């Protein structure tokens, strides 16, 4: 293709993020589009095209300066009048060039030539520049400005880097962040045969299994042939996985409303409380005094050692902290100091706090249940080749109860994944409403384990995704571990500053783009993509419950 000249570089070309070009015409280029400049990095190398993105356009005309009065604007009314005095400049940010030897994208170290021609690029140039391995990557969507017709430029993200090095998806409400996560996870499961666990505080993802049946979105209106083909593959594979007792699995607390929601196809959470260590128990029961912790610790040890039946009934622990305290005091393994420290009052307070958590969470095993929750059945072992999307529906629970279930299940996942004898399949854990599970002030019982997964999970094949509409309320240590960032529309200055502070992947020009992004458009940057890109996220196969209800359709339903 012959590349048309759009303008020329002017001024200082030594700062890659602050290049300026004089634009030839007012319709030559638009903000967000890509351009190229030929550049010779070394004397013994040929010229190579350097890719750049238009970040800002300045357009002014002296004839329409308010200081000149209203008379000048009458030139508009004169037939055939030629308006002069117009100046059109564009700011460019360099993406880089492909190194001829390593094939990596690099930023030029030698300033570009002032006066160099700035040229158009076509979809083929962009597709060649952003080289993706479709077999190891996930198709997220198409490049903004190149998402329609024959000029579509697909954007892929590397699955290994995405999953093992963690992901943050940050955007204000209504920007499409959960929809974006939905597209990613359904493809990880259906096309990459992965294991994904979603902590779903509002029951949005569970809509994909409404009334216990796979619920797919309509294919009508999907113009991208690549999407139509891949969505058909996703649908077919999810059906096959579902028939093989994998695919989408819904886990819920022990409440009848969930049975109705999923027509009895949900799996009830039945966590084994005796599996948890004392430090985990004190995390989910904050505020215990030292005597209360000591009583609870002794009760847990006695319960484990004297109750030989497995799985153990949580009601036995409740009994021991109440009427059974005298039974514990007669235990031969107690030291004199422990026996003297056992206080019925401390036991009563610890029992009250424990009962509150158990009753709110409704997610622990008792003898009335068929079987306890098996983390290996939930996620699978490495030998299990069946992908699955596990949705933990926490809709309707209190914030504390949601955090308790999240904390204990996350601990189980990390513990099993780090087992030397019986590890889990590699898995990807998604924390929706991440600012509730890992807040900046640390006041959430799930906070500690999420930080632990952020720091250690990669070694054991546990990756995570944190999703939030309020980035500034997230724990900065957690987000700093996310080596891929997907940022959608964000207008809050505090949130923008937080992203700039927490990640060195986002430039000033990228931040300036965030307030004006349309729904479904995202800035993607980090280790799973060659360079920061603006992407129009593609369609989903499964329905998603994050959309706002059509209230007028509901309000307008009554007729006399």
Same domain for 522 and 444, yes or no, is yes
Tell me the residue range of the domain where 141 lies: 137-268+373-554
The answer to whether position 405 is within a domain reads yes
Q: Which pair of structure tokens corresponds to residue 310?
A: 């497995």
Tell me how crowded residue 554 is: count the other CB atoms within 10 A of its CB: 9
Distance CA 432, CA 365 (A): 25
The residues, any chain, with a CB within 8 Å of residue 346's CB and separated by 6 or more, are 289, 291, 292, 294, 295
Same domain for 250 and 382, yes or no, is yes
HSE-CB at 456 with a 13 A cutoff on CA atoms is: 13
Same domain for 9 and 102, yes or no, is yes
β-partners of residue 156 are 139
Same domain for 295 and 211, yes or no, is no
Q: How far apart are the first and last CA of the chain?
A: 66
- How far, in Å, are 117, 131, 145, 174 from residue 52 at the CA level? 13, 16, 14, 30
Nearest to 437 by CA among 453, 450, 455, 428: 450
Q: State which of 330, 361, 392 marks the end of a domain.
A: 361
Same domain for 229 and 176, yes or no, is yes
The answer to whether 35 and 119 have CB atoms below 8 angstroms apart is yes
Same domain for 434 and 517, yes or no, is yes
Q: What is the pLDDT along the chain (560 residues), one digit of tens a residue?
A: 567 899 999 999 988 878 999 998 888 888 878 899 999 988 888 889 999 988 888 887 766 665 555 544 444 434 443 455 677 899 998 988 988 777 788 889 999 999 999 998 887 888 788 878 778 999 999 988 888 777 788 899 999 999 999 999 999 888 899 999 999 999 999 999 999 999 999 999 999 998 999 999 887 778 888 899 999 999 999 999 999 999 999 999 999 999 999 999 999 999 999 989 888 898 888 889 999 999 999 999 999 999 888 899 999 999 999 998 989 988 888 888 878 778 889 999 999 999 999 999 999 999 888 899 999 999 999 999 899 999 999 999 999 999 999 999 999 999 999 999 999 999 999 999 999 999 999 889 999 999 999 999 999 999 999 999 989 899 999 998 999 999 999 888 888 888 877 667 677 777 888 888 889 999 998 889 888 888 999 999 998 766 656 666 666 655 55
β-partners of residue 97 are 106
Same domain for 144 and 204, yes or no, is yes
Biggest CA pair distance of the chain: 107
The answer to whether position 126 is within a domain reads no
Same domain for 340 and 394, yes or no, is no
């Amino acid at each position: 293709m012959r590349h048309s000249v759009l303008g020329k570089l002017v001024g200082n070309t030594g700062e890659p993020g602050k290049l300026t070009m004089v634009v030839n015409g007012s319709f030559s280029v638009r903000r967000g589009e890509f351009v190229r400049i030929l550049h010779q990095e070394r004397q013994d190398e040929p010229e190579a095209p350097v890719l750049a993105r238009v970040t800002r356009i300045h357009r002014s005309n002296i004839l329409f300066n308010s200081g000149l009065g209203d008379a000048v604007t009458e030139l508009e009314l004169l037939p055939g009048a030629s308006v002069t005095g117009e100046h059109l400049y564009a700011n460019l940010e360099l993406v880089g060039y492909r190194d001829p030897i390593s094939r990596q994208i690099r930023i030029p170290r030698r300033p570009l030539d002032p006066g160099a021609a700035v040229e158009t690029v076509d979809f083929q140039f962009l597709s060649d520049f952003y080289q993706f391995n479709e077999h190891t990557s996930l198709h997220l969507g198409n490049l903004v400005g190149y998402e329609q017709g024959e000029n579509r430029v697909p954007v892929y993200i590397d699955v290994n880097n995405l999953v093992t090095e963690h992901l943050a998806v940050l955007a204000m409400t209504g920007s499409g962040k959960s929809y974006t996560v939905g597209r990613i996870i359904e493809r990880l499961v259906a096309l990459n045969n992965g294991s994904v666990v979603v902590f779903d505080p509002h029951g949005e993802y569970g809509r994909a299994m409404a009334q216990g049946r796979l619920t797919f979105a309509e294919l009508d209106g999907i113009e991208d042939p690549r999407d139509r083909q891949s969505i058909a593959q996703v649908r077919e594979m999810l059906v096959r996985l579902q028939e093989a007792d994998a695919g989408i699995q819904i886990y819920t607390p022990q409440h009848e409303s969930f049975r109705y929601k999923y027509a009895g196809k949900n799996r009830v959470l039945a966590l084994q409380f005796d599996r948890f260590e004392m430090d985990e128990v004190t995390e989910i029961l904050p505020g215990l005094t030292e005597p209360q912790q000591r009583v609870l610790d002794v009760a847990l040890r006695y319960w484990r050692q004297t109750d030989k039946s497995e799985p153990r009934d949580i009601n036995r622990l409740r009994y021991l902290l109440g009427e059974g305290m005298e039974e514990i005091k007669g235990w031969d393994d107690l030291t004199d100091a422990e026996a003297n420290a056992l206080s019925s009052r401390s036991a009563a307070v610890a029992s009250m706090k424990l009962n509150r958590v158990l009753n709110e969470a409704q997610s622990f095993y008792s003898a009335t249940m068929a079987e306890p929750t098996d983390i290996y059945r939930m996620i699978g072992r490495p030998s299990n080749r069946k992908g699955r999307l596990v949705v933990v529906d926490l809709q309707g629970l209190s914030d504390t109860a949601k955090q308790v279930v999240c904390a204990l299940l996350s601990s189980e996942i990390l513990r099993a994944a780090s087992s030397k004898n019986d590890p889990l399949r590699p898995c990807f854990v998604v924390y929706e409403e991440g600012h509730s599970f890992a807040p900046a002030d640390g006041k959430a019982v799930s906070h500690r384990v999420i930080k632990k997964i952020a720091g250690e999970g990669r070694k054991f094949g546990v990756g995570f995704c944190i999703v939030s509409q309020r980035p500034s309320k997230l724990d900065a240590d957690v987000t700093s571990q996310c080596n891929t960032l997907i940022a959608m529309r964000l207008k809050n200055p505090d949130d923008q500053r937080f992203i700039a502070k927490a990640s060195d992947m986002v430039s000033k020009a990228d931040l300036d783009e965030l307030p004006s992004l349309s729904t479904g458009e995202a800035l993607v940057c980090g280790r799973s993509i060659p360079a920061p890109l603006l992407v129009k996220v593609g369609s989903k196969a499964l329905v998603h419950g994050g959309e706002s209800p059509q209230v007028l359709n509901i309000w307008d339903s009554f007729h006399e």
